[in-house]
Structure 1
Amino acid sequence: MKQSLFQEKYPIFTLEVAKSETTYQNVDEILAYLKAQIEADPKCRFIAEFDHYSHTSALPEAEIAPEIKDAKNIVFCFGIKLPNPEVMAVRPRSIGVTELEDRFVIAFMEAPMPVANNAMEAWAKGIRNR
């Protein structure tokens, strides 16, 4: 798992999983796995799946890197506290799953609560299951 700053301001975690390192065959199978993890966590609530690839490819000005075969997000919330209105700016959470020819890239923005980061990191690492 790699931690970095995307565009020099967004703290993100990224994990690349070679297709040979996982039993998952496509993005939909990975999203089903992540949804099961979300639904099994009593502090977490599944919200939606978003097909970013289809959305972007339908736009007249669409630009998609040629190596990207599919890209979807799973959206959920760990909102166990609502201490102030500002916390709404960093909720809900999302994990992006992108399929390339030989690997999957799992990416998510760092959450302001360690419990959420630990869970998302564990879920992402569970994709590498061979």
Structure 2
Amino acid sequence: MKQTMLMEKYPIYTLEIGKDEIAHKTMDAILDYFLAKIDAHPIAQRIALFDHYAHTKALGDKGEINPEILDARDVVFCFGQKLPNPQMLAIRPRSIGVAEMADKFVISFLETPMPHANEAMEAWVKGLVAV
């Protein structure tokens, strides 16, 4: 798992997993895996699945998709257990992005200010790698 700064301001975690290295072989299987992890977590709350690829493609000339991306979806959920001020809403909810490429899946998420949330998401993503 790699930690980087996207666009010089977004701290993200990314893991690229070859299709021959992943336990779940399809986009739907990967999404189901994450939904099960969210549902089993004592705090996390599932919100939605978002088909980013379909959305962007439907924009026609106004949308742009890297031709190497075959599918792209987000699992949207929340780890929030405190709401100390209204500004907290700006950094919630969370999502894990799954992009399918010809030979691999690229899984990514934005770092949170909550260590337990980062640890959970990192463990979930690493759990996709076939042992």
Q: Scaled by the length of structure 2, what TM-score is found?
A: 0.96
Correspondences of 1:99-114 after superposition (within 5 Å): 99-114=100-115
- Residue in 2 aligned with 1:31? 31
DSSP-derived class of the 2:130 partner: coil
Runs of 5+ consecutive residues of structure 1 not aligned to the other structure: none
Shift, 1:5, TM fit: 0.6
How far residue 6 of structure 1 moved from its aligned partner, in angstroms, is: 0.4
Aligned to 2:68: 67
Cα distance in 2 between the residues matched to 1:93 and 1:24: 22
Residues of 1 paired with 2:69 and 2:44: CA distance?
Answer: 29
Quote how far apart the aligned CAs of 1:51 are. 0.2
Structure 2: 5+ residue stretches without partners: none
Structure 2 distance, partners of 1:23, 1:80, is 31
Matched, 1:5 2:15: no
Q: Which moved more, 1:2-11 or 1:56-65?
A: 56-65
Q: How many residue pairs are counted as aligned between the two chains?
A: 130
C-alpha RMSD of matched pairs (Å): 0.8
Q: Distance in 2 between matches of 1:25 and 1:44?
A: 25
CA distance in 2, matches of 1:106, 1:79: 22
**For residues 2 and 109 of structure 1, what CA distance do their matches in structure 2 show?**
12
Q: What residue identity is the alignment partner of 2:5? A: L
> What is the match of residue 49 of structure 1?
49
Deviation readout 1:41-96 (Å, 9 max, x if unpaired): 01110000000000001112221111101000000000111111111111000000
TM-score by length of 1: 0.97
Moved over 4 A (4+): none
Aligned to 1:90: 91
Distance in structure 1 (CA, Å) of the matches to 2:25 and 2:59: 27
Q: CA deviation at 1:29?
A: 0.9
